[in-house]
Structure formats: structure tokens, C-alpha cells
Chains A and B, each alone.
Chain A
Amino acid sequence: MITLVNLGNGRNAIIRRIEGGPGLKNRLEVMNIREGKKVKKTCSGPLRGPVVIEIDGSKIAIGRGMANKVWVEEI
């Protein structure tokens, strides 16, 4: 398993595990970022910038720190 940060651009993956407390989990969950969801990494920002993923056709930017806590399995 790798984190969203390490996932290659344009690659699809399934979210397997989200580290962190209920606060972080909830912030991600309400944006539909949760375990079992299929995501596609669109791009990552330069200079340790945020990561952009696509879930169900909507694009969401996630700060790099958080993206590092989302573990995915590439498909």
C-alpha cells in the first residue's frame, strides 16, 4: 500500500485506510473521501503542494500532510 502522495498522476486506486483521529476522518469523510472509495489522482502541486484527486467526478485538493495519511491500493 502507498499513500496518495506517492500514487502516480493519472493512476486509479482504492482507499484502504485513513490514519488519524475522528476529526480528520470526518473532514475527509464529508467530502466522500473514505475507505473503499475509488479515486483517481489528477495531479500534485509543486513545492510540496497539495494533491488533487478525483472522486465521483469531482475534484478535491487535499493538503500534502493529510494526503500522506490516506493509504491506497493501486488498481
Chain B
Amino acid sequence: MMELGKNKTKKILSSLKSNEILKTNDYNPKTKKHQHRRRKRFRYGFNSFRKKQDQDESYITIALAGNANVGKSVIFNELTGSNQIIGNWPGKTVEIAEGKLYFEGQNIKIIDLPGIYSFYTYSMEESVTREYIAFEKPDLVINVIDASVLERNLFFTIQLLEMKVPMLICINQMDIAQQKGIVIDTNKLEAALKVPVVPTVAIRGEGLHELMDKAVDILDDAYNYQINPIEYGAEVERRIKSLTRYIESKESEIEYPSRWVAIKLLENDPEIRKMVESESREVIGRAYQLAGEIEKIHEEPSFAVIASERYAMANRISQGAQFQKKLKTSFAEKLDRMVTHRVYGYIISALVIGGLLLWTFVVGDFLSGILSDAFSFFQPIDPQVSGSIVSILWNGAFGGLVAGVTLIIPFVIPFYFMLSLIENSGILTRVAFMMDSAMHRIGLHGKALIPLILGYGCNVPAIESTRILENRRERLLAAFAITFAPCSARTIVIMGLVALYVNIWWALALYAIDILVMLIAGRIAYKVIPGETSGLIMEMHSFKIPSLAVAFKQTWKRTKSLIYLVFPVYIIASALIQALYAFGFLTPIANFLAPITVFWLGLPVFAGVVLIFGAVRKEYTILMLVALFGTNLAAVLTPVQFIILALVSMLFIPCLSTITIMLRDFGWKATGTIAIANIITAMLVGGIVFRIINPFF
């Protein structure tokens, strides 16, 4: 039986490990760079580097566990120098991240567990966390708690205590608690929980040294450490003890502690029941009988009785350890009233989203200009379609690199930078709140706005982040809407073709059309895919001044993963296109597509090829045109053709990397359906718009 449980965890964990998001920050103390970074980022530990050489490679494992959005990822990053994505919205850590730290002569492996609220098996995160703790047996679990919502966090702490793992409590975000007028007496908390408690403000690195000190102390057995679960009310407690003894007498081989199994059985947890059932039916029978007794006494289901007792404990402990000062209406409070106001709220939401995009265009355009100037200084990037194969390929590859550096980087960096400032300030959740009822029209709730906005930067991370949504149906609907979101690459196409060769107003009109199409297509998809929309439950964290350092780190992390994904494709495909064209392979394809491109969309014959290569990366639409005709595109396309080409290339299929990520998350069928829906939408909209605007030119 134990084997079964173990295998399952192994499977989950290994599938997590195979995921590229799991990363290990292997830092080598011998390199100067790391020493320097370590000293700067984490004030202690320099002296201990020298000792490292004669240490063996055995690791102590410390896992960070706690509710979502309490700062586990911040602590993880501070400790390991790894760059987990941090944001002020719940649910980012779905995988298990792992990093390493060297502290006072110890090699320590830090595990960042997903943020969860309880140990039920309603979600994958909860199962993963509890199985990790039970089967991988970390040497120490640091329970990270949000000081400003102590009671709710303690509900999880109590369950963690029941798992009997060596444990240390880190009360984080003490600064926010202070802002809310909450004073916490950590000594009282320590006494009530019988677990060491360390207060921290992780975002500023405060208290982390003490935290690790305490952790190492516990591991050195300085505390003679013993975990004591908190007792329930007499009626429940007696039955838990009785069942615990019964389980112990059966000498079962379940990895979980007996008391915990007993409680879970009384709560009727399906997974634990199944696990125990295959070993001993008598235990199940006994549990059933005891749960019945509890239900009889309290006239409520046993799981509800146990849950409310836990809440009562959490309430008692938190009331005993904290004190609420009276506060005047703070500035943050006033600001909050403003951004959720029925009129100003919408204006501010629009300003936030609009400002983000405008900022991206302005800064992006500026940076792009500088970079292209810098590159043309080295080598002109005019396409070359004759000469030796080597020189054609080289020219193409260089062109691809230049396109990447001058088109993607300048737009993506300012976008991600501003986005992480907005994310961390907490205003994004207010925008999500304001947009909730509008989002319901396309079958999503307000939280789905966050992936959609991310989609304006790049669809790939946006689709990845749809995991914050409740179920597969909602994730699919959101992903479908995202495939229409005008990402930075599409923006480049709109700007490069329409703003440059027609005028800025038509470019903006295309943007508006795109958003309209996104809403209509989303609405249709919502009607087509059966199911009910789950409601919004979202914590609206207090506003905070975003940290620039965190924003820089996040921007770099997101940009880096994009570069790794995109640049190789860019360079190779660009060289390939140029070669294919030079050897005359493209003309037959263009001719084959002529009925659609020429007759329905009113584009020139070569547009077919341009669009096909645009499916690799959207910017190829421009790159390809430039490769074929040089920079004077006005000679080969009319204004209407510029508009239609940009419109179709914007809508007609998600780019190759988006398709890749959708395949990974949703499988062939869903991805194929979405791609076909995209193509049909693009053809319909393109043809109709062509017939409408043609008379005006």
C-alpha cells in the first residue's frame, strides 16, 4: 500500500521535475560572481564560503509551505537567488521550485511548495503538498504566515502540526500587519503553538537571517524538538485518540502519521480512505462508526465539525496573540474606495491598461529605434537573394537576430517591467474586480483578466498563467481569448505595416477591431462549450509601493525565458526563408493560396507566403516582406492591402510557440480546434473588412 502512495508521489514529483519551470540554482562558491551576488543579496555567509570546499555534498532539505500570496516565493528568492516569478496575486507557484543555499557550513536545499489553504484533496496543489511532506520527508518545514491575516493562516498551521513534521513558523509581512494596526506578540504565539516563531519582512530581507539561524538550530537539535498537535474539543479528541490507537495497533505501513490519518478518516477524505481501505477494512469500519457518533452529537457532518473546531482553535490562538489598534481611514483605504468606485473605477482601470500599453509603445518604439541604428552601424540588413548559399544563409540568420533584438526585446522589456510594477502594487486585482461582470459575458470571471492582460505582452506566458483559473473549461476559454490578444509581436506588425505606411489612426482602429473580435469570439466559444462559470473569489490585498528590484528581477526572468524560446527559432527560420525564396520554392505555395489571398482578401499573390511564415512568429510578416522587397514596401502594397494584411496576420493563427504551449497544456484536439477557429475568424473578418473599407480609399 505504502508503495502505491509512494509511486504516485514519485510520479507527480517526477512530472514536476520534467517541467522546465523547476529549476535549481546551482551556485558554485568558487566563482567570484556568485560570491559577490551572495554577499550583496544575503548579508551573511561570506566567511562560510571558504569552508565549503571540504564539505561533502549532503543536503538538508527545507520546504516552504503556507497559504497563497504570503511571500513564500519572495523568501525563496532571497534565500537562493533564484528568480521565481513574484506577483501580488494568488496562485503562481503551481510547480515545486527548488534552489540551493549555503549557510553556516550547511548545504541547504530550499523547496518552494505551492500555496494552499488546507490539506483537502480538492486541488492538485493540495495533494502535491501533502504528499511531498509525507513521502519526501523534508528535514524541516518553514510555515510562512501572513501576519495581517493570522487566523486564516493558522488554520493551515494547525493542519501542518498534525502532520508531525519538524516545523518553524515565519510570520511574514509584518510591515503590512503594522499598517493595518495589527500588533502580534510572537512569544504568545510561540507558547500557544509550541513551535519557534520568527517575524520577517521578506521583501526587504528583514529577519531572514534569524529565520535561517533558527532553522539550523532546530536541525542541530538545539531545541530537543518535539511537535505536539493541538487538541480538539473533548468529544472529538476522544474519538481521534481512539482511532489513532486503533490504527497503530494494526501496524499499517502508511507513511502519514497515525493521528493525521485518523483525523482525515473522520473527515472522510476520499484519498486517505482509499489508501487505508486496501490495507485494513476494519479501520475504515471503526472510523465510520466514530464519525457517526460525532455527527450524532453535533448534528452536523463530521468533516464540518472538525473544520469548525479547527477554526475555533485558529481563532483562539490568533485572538490571544494579536491586538488590533484603531486606525484612521488610511490613504490606501481612500485609494481603494476610488479605484473600486462605479465611475472612477472604470476610468482608472482603463487608464491602467491603456497606460501600460501606451508606455510599451512609446518606450518600445524609442528603444527599437536606438537598437536598429546601432545594428545598421555594423552591417546593413538589406535582404540578399543572390550569391552563394552560405552568404544567403548568413544574411538571413543575421537578419533574424537583428529582427529579434530590435523588434521583440525593446517592446517586451518595458511591458513586463511596467506589468510587474502594476502586479506588485495590487491594483491589478482591483481592475479584475471592476471587469468581473464584463468578463462573465465571455464565460470567465474577473481573475481571467490577468492572463488576458499578460497576453498583450506575449501569448506564451499568458496561456501558462491561465492555471490560476478554477477548471479546464475556464482555462480553455481564456486561452482561446488570449490567442486573439494583440501581443507585442502583433503590435509590431500593426505598427510596422499600418502606422508606418498608412497612418496611426488605422493602426488604432485595427487594435479596436482586434479587441472586438476577441470579445465576440470569446462569447461564441462560451455559448458553444457547455458548462457553468464558477464565481470569483479573490483576495484584494492592500496596496503597496512596488519594489523596483523585484520588478527588474521579474522582467529579466520573463524576458530571458522568451529569448531562449524565441531566438533560435528566429535565426534558423529567417535563414531558411531567405534560402527558400532564393531557390524559388515559395512561388508555387503563393500561387496555390491565390484564390483566398487574391480574390477573397484582395491581397497580392505573394501575401500567401508572407502569412504562412507569419505563423512561425508574427513579426515574420514584416521580416518576410522586407526580405522580399526591401524597406520600400509602399511600392508593392496599397494602403488597403497593408491594413488587410496586418489584420489577417494578427488574427489568423497563434504563432508556433503559442501552439507549442497550448499543446503541452491542452492537447492536440483543443489546440487544433482553437487554431482552426482562429483561421476561420481571420478569413471572415479580413474579407468583410476588405469589402467595407475598400471604397474609402
Are A61 and B152 touching (Cβ within 8 A)? no
From A32, A52, A64, name the one whose CB has the most chain B CB atoms within 10 angstroms.
A32
Residues of B within 8 A of A62 (CB): 535-537
Are B122 and A23 touching (Cβ within 8 A)? yes
Are B537 and A45 touching (Cβ within 8 A)? no
Interface positions, chain A 30-51, Cβ under 8 Å from B, are: 30-32, 34-36, 42-43, 45-50
Are B434 and A45 touching (Cβ within 8 A)? yes
Are A59 and B308 touching (Cβ within 8 A)? no
Are A34 and B311 touching (Cβ within 8 A)? yes
Are A58 and B148 touching (Cβ within 8 A)? yes
Interface: B106 (CB within 8 A):
no
Residues of B within 8 A of A50 (CB): 433, 436-437, 446, 535-536
Are A52 and B433 touching (Cβ within 8 A)? yes
Residues of A within 8 A of B626 (CB): none
CA distance A62 to B538 in the complex (A): 7
Are B535 and A30 touching (Cβ within 8 A)? no
Given A52-B340, A52-B433, A57-B180 in contact, is the A31-B345 Cβ separation under 8 Å? Answer: no
Interface: B482 (CB within 8 A):
no
Given A61-B538, A63-B536 in contact, is the A31-B152 Cβ separation under 8 Å? Answer: yes
Residues of A within 8 A of B437 (CB): 45-50, 64
Residues of B within 8 A of A56 (CB): 149-152
CA distance A16 to B165 in the complex (A): 36
- How many residues of B sit at the interface, in one of the four size bands? 35 or more
Residue-wise interface mask of B (315-346) relative to A, using a CB-CB cutoff of 8 A (1 in contact, 0 not): 00000000010000000000011001010011
Q: Tell which of A34, A42, A49, A61 touches B537, judged by Cβ atoms closer than 8 Å.
A: A61
Interface: A14 (CB within 8 A):
no
Given A26-B120, A45-B436, A48-B437 in contact, is the A60-B151 Cβ separation under 8 Å? Answer: no
Are A30 and B539 touching (Cβ within 8 A)? no
Residues of B within 8 A of A52 (CB): 340, 433, 540
Given A34-B308, A45-B437, A52-B540 in contact, is the A63-B149 Cβ separation under 8 Å? Answer: no
Q: Tell which of B324, B434, B436, B535 touches A57, judged by Cβ atoms closer than 8 Å.
A: B324
Q: Tell which of B180, B336, B337, B537 touches A63, judged by Cβ atoms closer than 8 Å.
A: B537
Are A63 and B539 touching (Cβ within 8 A)? no
Residues of B within 8 A of A32 (CB): 149, 151-152, 155, 311
Residues of A within 8 A of B345 (CB): 45-46
Residue-wise interface mask of B (403-424) relative to A, using a CB-CB cutoff of 8 A (1 in contact, 0 not): 0000000000000000000000
CA distance A7 to B149 in the complex (A): 24
Residues of A within 8 A of B445 (CB): 63
A-B contact pairs, 10 of them (CB 8 A): A45-B342, A45-B436, A50-B446, A50-B536, A57-B148, A59-B539, A61-B540, A63-B436, A63-B445, A66-B537
In addition to A32-B149, A32-B152, A49-B433, 6 A-B residue pairs with Cβ atoms within 8 Å of each other are A28-B537, A45-B345, A45-B433, A46-B342, A50-B446, A60-B538
Ranked 4 nearest A-B pairs via Cβ: A63-B535, A30-B117, A46-B342, A63-B536
